[in-house]
C-alpha cells in the first residue's frame, strides 16, 4: 500500500524530494558530462570533452610499474593508507612543482583523489551559504558545480588575451564589499585556461596577488595544464612567489593518466591540517595502489620526456584545429593557446551555441556551449573546442561539419530576417563585458 503522506512530502518522481538538504539543489548535471553519452558514439567527432590522449603513453611504462608495485609492495598497495598521502610520492610531487618555480615542503602536500577532489575539500572548508567566489569569466564548469553545491555565488571577473583583468578585479571586490558580501577566495586557472586557452601574464600574476593580499582574499590556483606548453613555458606558478596566500592544486590526470585519480593540494600549514582532516572524513585515504604506481613510474620512467611527447601531440592537434578553423570558418574569432587542451570560439552575435547543439549532434559533431562555463547563463555566443583527443584528421572533419551547422543556422536566421535571433543573448552575457574580446 502506498504511503500517501510520504508522496505528499516529495514530488511525482522523487518521494524524498523535500528531505534533501538545501545544498543538494546546487548539484546539477554539467553540460560537459551530459554530452559524453552522445559524443562517445563512434560516428560523432567530439570536440567537447577534455580527455587526455592516453594512447600516447606507452603501456609498458604503466604495466611495469604496476607489476613491480604488486610484487614488492603488494600488501601495502592493497591496504588503507595515510589521509595525507604516501610520503615518497609527496616528495616526488615537489620535483614536479619545481618545474614551475615552486619551492615547498612535502609536509604541506596533501594527496587527493584527483585535483577536483582537492577543490571540493577546499570549498567544504571555506564556503558558507551566501559567500562569494571570484573567478574568471568563463571558468571551469565543474568548479562552479562545486561552489553552487555549497550555496556560494560565483562572481565572474572579465578576461582578455592576457588573462584576468586586474582593474576589473579591483572593481568587483569594491562592489561586493560595498554590498556587504563576504568574498572567500579567488579561483583561477592561470596557465592555459579552461575553457579560454589564455595564460595570465607574469605582470598580472604579481598584480592580482597584491590585490588579493591587500584585501585578505585567499587565492586558489588550479593548475592542471601548466606543464603542457607548446612553444614556451607559462610563467612560474603564483604559488612560487606567495606561500601563505595561495592554495595550489595539481594533478597527474593530464601529464600521466586520469584513471589513476591522483591529484594534490599544496597549502599553508594551518589549511593543510584541515585538508587532511577533511580528506579523511571524505575518503579515509586516497588510493595506496594508485599512489605507489605513480611513485614507481616517477622513479623509473623518463616522465619529463613523456610530458614532452604529450606536448608534441597536443601542439600538432592545436595547429590542426586552428588551420581548419581558418579554412572553414574564417569569419569567426578564436583564441590561440600556447598550451593545454582548448580553443575558445566567438560566434556571430545572432547565434546561440547552446540552442545550436542539437543541430550539431545531428551533423555528427559535438562541442561544449559557452553557457557551461558561466554561473549566470552567459556565454551563448561562445563555444569551447577541445583538440586533445581527436586525431588531426578527425579535427578537420569535425570543424568542416561544424561549419555546415553554423552556416545552416545563419541561413535559417536570414530566411526569417526581421524576427531576430532564435535565442538572443543579452549584452550582459558577453565573454568579457566592457573588456576587449578574446580573438
Fold identical between 25-56+306-429 and 59-300?
no
The phi, psi pair for 253, rounded to 5°, reads -65, -35
SS3 291: helix
Contact between 372 and 342 (Cβ < 8 Å): no
Q: What is the pLDDT of residue 158?
A: 97
Q: Which of 34, 269, 15 is nearest to 142 (CA)?
A: 34
Other CB atoms within 10 A of residue 202 CB: 15
Burial 371-388 (b: 16+ CB within 10 A, else e): bbbbbeebbbbbbbbbbb
Architecture field, domain 59-300: 3-Layer(aba) Sandwich (3.40)
Q: 221 forms bridges with which residues in the sheet?
A: 188, 248
Q: Where are the domains of the chain?
A: 25-56+306-429, 59-300
- Angle 326-339-89 (CA atoms, 0-180°, nearest 5)? 155
In tens digits, what is the pLDDT along the chain, a chain of 439 residues? 444 444 445 555 888 888 888 877 767 666 556 565 666 678 899 999 889 999 999 888 889 999 999 999 999 999 999 999 999 999 999 999 999 999 999 999 999 999 999 999 999 999 999 999 999 999 999 999 999 999 999 999 999 999 999 999 999 999 999 999 999 999 999 999 999 999 999 999 999 999 999 999 999 999 999 999 999 999 999 999 999 999 999 999 999 999 999 999 999 999 999 999 999 999 999 999 999 999 999 999 999 999 999 999 999 999 999 999 999 999 999 999 999 999 999 999 899 999 999 999 999 999 999 999 999 989 999 999 999 999 999 999 999 999 999 999 998 888 876 544 444 444 333 343 333 334 3
Other CB atoms within 10 A of residue 435 CB: 17
In CATH terms, 25-56+306-429 corresponds, of 3.90.1150.10, 3.30.450.20, 3.30.420.250, 3.30.470.30, to: 3.90.1150.10
SS3 339: strand
Widest CA span of the chain, in angstroms?
A: 73
Cα 114 to Cα 104: distance, rounded to the nearest angstrom: 20
What's the pTM? 0.89
Cα 296 to Cα 63: distance, rounded to the nearest angstrom: 11
Amino acid at each position: 500500500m502506498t504511503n500517501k503522506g510520504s508522496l505528499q512530502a516529495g514530488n511525482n518522481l522523487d518521494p524524498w524530494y523535500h528531505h534533501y538538504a538545501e545544498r543538494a539543489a546546487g548539484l546539477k548535471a554539467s553540460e560537459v558530462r551530459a554530452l559524453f553519452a552522445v559524443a562517445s558514439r563512434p560516428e560523432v567527432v567530439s570536440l567537447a570533452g577534455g580527455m587526455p590522449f592516453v594512447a600516447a603513453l606507452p603501456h609498458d611504462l604503466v604495466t611495469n610499474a604496476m607489476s613491480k608495485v604488486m610484487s614488492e609492495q603488494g600488501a601495502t598497495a592493497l591496504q588503507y593508507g595515510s589521509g595525507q598521502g604516501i610520503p615518497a610520492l609527496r616528495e616526488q610531487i615537489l620535483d614536479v612543482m619545481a618545474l614551475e618555480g615552486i619551492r615547498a615542503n612535502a609536509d604541506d602536500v596533501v594527496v587527493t583523489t584527483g585535483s577536483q577532489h582537492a577543490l571540493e575539500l577546499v570549498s567544504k572548508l571555506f564556503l558558507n551559504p551566501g559567500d562569494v567566489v571570484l573567478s574568471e569569466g568563463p571558468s571551469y564548469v565543474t568548479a562552479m558545480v562545486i561552489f553552487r553545491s555549497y550555496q556560494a555565488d560565483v562572481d565572474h571577473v572579465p578576461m582578455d588575451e592576457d588573462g584576468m583583468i586586474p582593474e576589473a578585479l579591483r572593481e568587483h571586490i569594491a562592489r561586493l564589499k560595498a554590498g556587504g558580501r563576504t568574498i572567500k577566495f579567488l579561483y583561477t586557472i592561470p596557465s592555459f585556461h579552461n575553457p579560454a586557452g589564455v595564460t595570465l601574464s607574469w605582470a598580472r600574476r604579481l598584480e592580482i596577488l597584491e590585490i588579493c593580499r591587500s584585501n585578505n582574499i585567499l587565492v586558489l590556483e588550479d593548475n592542471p595544464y601548466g606543464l603542457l606548453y607548446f612553444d614556451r613555458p607559462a610563467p612560474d606558478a603564483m604559488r612560487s612567489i606567495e606561500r601563505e596566500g595561495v592554495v595550489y592544486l595539481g594533478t597527474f590526470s593530464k601529464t600521466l593518466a586520469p584513471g589513476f585519480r591522483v591529484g594534490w593540494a599544496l597549502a599553508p600549514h594551518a589549511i593543510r591540517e584541515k585538508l587532511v582532516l577533511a580528506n579523511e572524513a571524505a575518503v579515509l585515504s586516497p588510493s595506496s595502489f594508485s599512489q605507489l604506481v605513480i611513485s614507481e613510474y616517477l622513479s623509473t620512467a623518463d616522465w619529463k620526456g613523456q610530458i614532452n611527447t604529450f606536448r608534441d601531440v597536443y601542439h600538432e592537434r592545436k595547429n590542426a584545429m586552428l588551420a581548419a578553423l581558418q579554412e572553414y570558418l574564417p569569419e569567426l574569432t578564436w583564441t590561440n593557446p600556447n598550451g593545454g587542451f582548448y580553443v575558445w570560439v566567438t560566434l556571430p552575435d545572432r547565434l546561440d551555441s547552446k540552442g545550436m547543439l542539437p543541430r550539431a549532434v545531428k551533423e555528427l559533431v559535438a562541442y561544449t556551449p559557452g553557457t557551461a562555463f558561466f554561473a549566470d547563463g552567459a556565454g551563448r555566443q561562445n563555444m569551447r573546442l577541445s583538440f586533445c583527443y581527436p586525431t588531426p584528421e578527425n579535427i578537420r572533419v569535425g570543424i568542416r561539419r561544424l561549419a555546415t551547422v553554423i552556416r545552416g543556422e545563419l541561413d535559417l536566421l536570414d530566411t526569417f530576417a526581421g524576427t531576430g535571433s532564435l535565442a538572443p543573448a543579452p549584452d550582459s552575457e558577453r565573454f568579457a563585458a566592457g573588456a576587449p574580446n578574446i580573438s
